[in-house]
Chain A
């Protein structure tokens, strides 16, 4: 009986959150996105800021309805600008958490999402990039990567999860080189960030939020990598190995 009640609590809170996610978008944010579409010069900036506002409000609601979970996002992470951010990936919450942390944010999204009506259009207008391994989407990829250097120089962040998929057991999987390749292309620093416990709140493969446990979700910096990309001895795989070591906490930032 107690278990049934707990499951019901999870269900009710999940329903509140997803109702806000969908309803908040349709009733409030869709009109803002529509109006912002007419900001021709800075349309992508306006969309990124709206994405940020939408997910900030989502996480404010999440913190309110799930008070047992505490959140610690370091000031160092909040202050990141003009960087390629890489992080471990535990939950569907991770990318939207990053969108909520940075007013200027871009990321790489699965190509299929660009085909979803409205959602795909927002992704494209926001300047997000289709996943690299896909055959199509080359035009968007070329356009967005071409703009990335200026975007980062102006204070924007590109965040990516180099594992490419959520970890089921907390261990860090193999890295894809896309994030590192873009950092080199843009001569940008790499900020290594470690996320903890989002997978406990919203585990992969589950529809319901886990709202009954007490734990802390943290987002912390594990250091900055500023390689000399022009150096003759520069190696992308060595840079990836170094980033991995930082992420795993096997050396001091």
Chain B
């Protein structure tokens, strides 16, 4: 999955699941879109669906510090890389 594909998928999730239309990739999601910790839990669920595998507790904890869409994409790229290396 390319970076552009990840970004498109994440923007679609934000539109459908969080009803946030066209957020800036570097918007602070908490400050500008009231994205809170429970939203982050929902986002993790969506990321698991996207990757087709469950996240470890450690990976979930790392996600709780994410602030922007770009950071979400970095996070997913990192997870995808780890899973690729394992398989």
Contact = CB atoms under 8 A, between A and B. Distances in A.
B27 interface: no
A137 B57 CA distance: 14
B42 A237 contact: no
Chain B binding surface, main DSSP class: helix
B41 to A, nearest CB: 5
18 contacts: A134-B37, A135-B37, A138-B37, A138-B40, A138-B64, A141-B38, A141-B64, A142-B60, A142-B61, A145-B41, A177-B38, A177-B39, A178-B38, A181-B38, A181-B41, A184-B42, A185-B41, A185-B45
A132 B42 CA distance: 12
Interface of A: 132-135, 137-139, 141-142, 145, 177-178, 181-182, 184-185, 235-237
Closest 5 CB pairs of A and B: A138-B64, A132-B38, A132-B37, A132-B36, A178-B38
B41 A142 contact: yes
A134 B37 CA distance: 7
B19 A235 contact: yes
Chain A binding surface, main DSSP class: helix
B61 A138 contact: yes
A181 to B, nearest CB: 5
A87 to B, nearest CB: 18
B57 A142 contact: yes
Given A185-B45, A235-B19, A236-B19, A145 B38 contact: yes
Interface string B7-33: 000000000010100000000000000
A142 B64 contact: yes
